[in-house]
A and B are shown apart, each in its own frame.
Chain A
């Protein structure tokens, strides 16, 4: 059984305003768990926003319903976990391989950045939903 110390959930349209809403959820979550170190908060927030932004920018609807963004974040002892989902979405196009863009490229760094920020990234697809599960082993005592 997991011991969830704090959590936040968001579901809304895969649109710009949802990115700000998710960020506000994260800022408020960290106030509930001040024992989570600054570095963990900073890295995990960045990874969640990168993943959510990826959905808003790239996810395509599988049917007539628009893509929705879902973010569920849990703080457990020594573990941060986020499930970042694209509902009503087609499977991601092509391999999800982090790129290594030229230094003057203006995009293509997101996936590599996510991998550098978290401990594990896994992908699930079920019933028209793509979910990226991010975990980071927390450094707090």
Chain B
């Protein structure tokens, strides 16, 4: 899995390309923690190229959400693909991790 980020006007966009599994989940958590420490507390995780997520990956996203909120911000997810959507729905976490069609939309109403 490859991570990248870009600081936009009102949020930081994190891309996580590949499989978000027990191997990459701790790396996502570390990556987002660093982005938050760098001064961005409004995070959009763009999952456009995240083909797979398991419960470890979901746990990492929840950890990142908590870290963003503790920093006074929020974390939202965007461009969710079918497998990730399925995992979010089966675990009822789609109610906690708000999903948007694109990264641009995630904080557009704030």
User: Which residues of A approach B to under 8 Å, CB–CB?
Assistant: 16, 19-20, 23, 38, 42-43, 45-46, 49-50, 53, 56-57, 103-107, 109-110, 112-113, 116-117
Cβ contact within 8 Å between B62 and A106:
yes
Knowing A49-B54, A104-B66, A113-B55, the reply to whether A19 touches B23 (Cβ < 8 A) is yes
Task: Enumerate 17 A-B pairs (CB-CB under 8 Å) in ascending A order.
Answer: A16-B22, A20-B21, A23-B21, A42-B82, A43-B86, A45-B83, A46-B54, A46-B87, A50-B55, A57-B22, A103-B96, A105-B59, A106-B62, A109-B55, A109-B91, A112-B91, A116-B90
Cβ contact within 8 Å between B19 and A105:
no
In this complex, the member of A19, A57, A109, A117 whose beta carbon has the largest number of chain B beta carbons within 10 angstroms is: A109
Q: How far is the CA of A105 from the CA of B58 in the complex (A)?
A: 10
**Within the complex, which residue of B23, B52, B82, B87 is in contact with A38, where a contact is CB–CB below 8 Å?**
B82
In this complex, the member of B54, B87, B90 whose beta carbon has the largest number of chain A beta carbons within 10 angstroms is: B54
Tell me, rounded to whole Å, the shortest Cβ–Cβ distance linking B63 to chain A.
5
Knowing A20-B23, A113-B90, the reply to whether A45 touches B52 (Cβ < 8 A) is yes
User: Which residues of B approach A to under 8 Å, CB–CB?
Assistant: 19, 21-23, 52, 54-56, 58-60, 62-63, 66, 82-83, 86-87, 90-93, 95-96
Query: Could you say which residues of chain A place their CB within 8 Å of the CB of B82?
Result: 38, 42
Knowing A109-B91, A113-B90, A117-B90, the reply to whether A20 touches B54 (Cβ < 8 A) is no
Query: Could you say which residues of chain B place their CB within 8 Å of the CB of A50?
Result: 54-55
Query: Could you say which residues of chain B place their CB within 8 Å of the CB of A53?
Result: 21-22, 54-56
Name the CB-closest residue of B to A53.
B22
Name the CB-closest residue of A to B96.
A103
